[in-house]
Structure 1
Amino acid sequence: MGAGTAAVLVHGLYHRPEHFAPVADGLRAKGIDVVVPELHRGSLAADTAAVQAAVDASREPPLLLGHSYGGSVITGVRGACRLVYLAAFVPDVGESAAALGGASARLREAIVPAAGPEGTTVLHPGLAAEVLYGDCSEPLAARAVGLLRPQAPGCGRGIPAHHSWKRTPSTYVVCAGDRAIDPVLQRRLAARCTEVREWRTGHAPFVSRPALLVDLVSELIAGVSPRP
């Protein structure tokens, strides 16, 4: 199945579609149709269903990119022409993001209780800026932290119903400067994918270096052979 001209971008825990706005705008400027579904549906199964609906509504099989927890989501979605795991979890049968190692100790320190339903959490703003956006300028980090939202419990413990990376070509992007998900874990998960790239970025290159993602997605959609 060849690549088309569409991409679905899937954010991670605590994040919003707005975090991907610079990437989405850059891809649209290149003529690529982009959808960024809102997650926070209360469970991995519900988040996966929301992304599956976006894929099913696409006029052609889209490229599907998942960041962090978004990797668990795209793993359970059918119908993509290619999967891209960005510092993301790649669960196998019976595995969840939490079981694979989950958040780093530094990210766990940033998670604090929030008002709302029992178990809801938020990220401490100062710690989130350091852990998630440590390679961003101060204004970029402040904007990204301001967009973060509360997170319902349990999503990271969800287990995908099936595993599309076993049948669909996939690219893993290791973020070597990541403080939220250990790059050592990322490299281990990357071995499950068809090809691997490694960038010297933090956890959120869609904030710090959006042009990198625009170029990568454009390259993969165009069907350019992977660089050695």
Structure 2
Amino acid sequence: MTDTALRPTLLLVHGSWHGAWCWEKVTPVLEADGWPTRAIDLPSAGSRADMQDDARAILRELENIDGPVVVVAHSYGGIPVSQAVAEARNVSHIVFLAAFQLDVDESLLGFLAEPVPPSQDGLDAVPENPVALFYGDVPAADAEAAVERLVPQSAKANSDALTAAGWHTVPSTYILCEDDQALPAPTQQALAARSGAVHRIASGHSPFLSKPAELAALLARIALARAGESDG
């Protein structure tokens, strides 16, 4: 039997415009299977906080967790997670879910070769047609409910460059979302080359809403492998 007491906590970190709420369909599945979970709200969603503010919030959350942690970062969340994990002492693994696995001196806008706006003091509005961008394979009612919860995102967070990248010292796995309209699969493939292992899921950008059971099972398999557990 698997000893659930030895399992790491899964810390779930959302991407731009979102919040901890986006994991609400995944956490019950994980917890029913014996996985302790935490989900954090990043300050850059809905305020002018920058990437380093997000990293500090993640680090504080990690410091409040006893025992090992597997951090799951979605989309933009991969950037402050990489920054925070470089200082953390209890992270055993990072899972990048359709996420920006950036290196030192890289920023989101820089990696995408997009210009930095003249002013970074404002907020980036929720993108037009977010259903097609984020939730194309999510049930319509769930997609509409998710759109209602999106908030503007700090502009500065997208141009802040990493000063440290924790995935250089902490093992990482990339989950590539094959039908992603927000972060296309070829871009994810380039990022995934930085991880030690790569898994694929046939989903859009938000498998936590479109395929929560499948995503939870995949996260559990990755975390079990890291914990050295077996089902026997």
TM-score range, shorter-chain basis?
0.7 to 0.9
The aligned counterpart of 2:31 is 28
Q: Which amino acid aligns with 2:97?
A: L
SS of residue paired to 2:122: coil
Per the alignment, do residues 217 and 183 of structure 1 end up closer, same or farther by CA in structure 2, a change over 3 Å counting? same
The answer on whether the counterparts of 1:5 and 1:31 sit within 8 Å (CA) in structure 2 is no
Conservation of the 8 A alpha-carbon contact between 1:119 and 1:153: yes
Give TM-score, length-normalised by structure 2. 0.84
- Bigger shift: 137-146 or 63-72? 137-146
Which of these residues, 91, 96, 103, is aligned with residue 107 of structure 2? Answer: 96
Deviation >2 Å, runs of 4+: none
Residues 117-176 of structure 1: CA distance to partner in whole angstroms, max 9, x if unpaired?
A: 962232256x00111101112111111111111212111112222111111111101111
In structure 2, the CA distance between the partners of 1:93 and 1:118, relative to structure 1 (3 Å rule), is: closer
Matched, 1:12 2:19: no
Inter-partner Cα distance in structure 1 for 2:113 and 2:212: 24
**8 Å contact kept, 1:122–1:150:** yes
2:79 is aligned, of 64, 72, 85, to 72
Matches within 5 A, 1:1-228: 4-41=7-44, 42-76=49-83, 77=85, 78-79=88-89, 80-101=91-112, 119-124=122-127, 127-223=129-225
- Counterpart AA for 1:5: P
Task: State the identity as a percent.
Answer: 29
Q: Encode CA deviations 1:46-96: one digit per residue, 9 max, x unaligned.
A: 101111111111111200010000010111123311000011001112101
The alignment's C-alpha RMSD in Å is 1.9
Aligned in 2, Cα 1:140/1:72: closer, same or farther, shift over 3 Å?
same
How far, CA to CA, are the matches of 1:70 and 1:175 in structure 2?
15
| TM score, norm. by length of structure 1 | 0.86
CA deviation after TM superposition for structure 1 residue 5, in Å: 2.7
1:20-63 residue CA offsets vs partner (Å, 9 max, x unmatched): 11111211112222111110241110101111111111111200
- Output the amino acid matched with 2:18: H
Q: d(CA) in 1 for partners of 2:79 and 2:145?
A: 26
Paired residue total = 209
Three-state SS of the structure 2 residue aligned to 1:59 is coil
Structure 2 residue ranges without an equivalent (≥5) = 1-5, 115-119
- CA-CA distance at 1:220 after TM superposition: 2.0
Q: Secondary structure at the match of 1:198?
A: strand
Partner SS for 1:32: coil
Secondary structure of the residue aligned to 1:89 is: coil
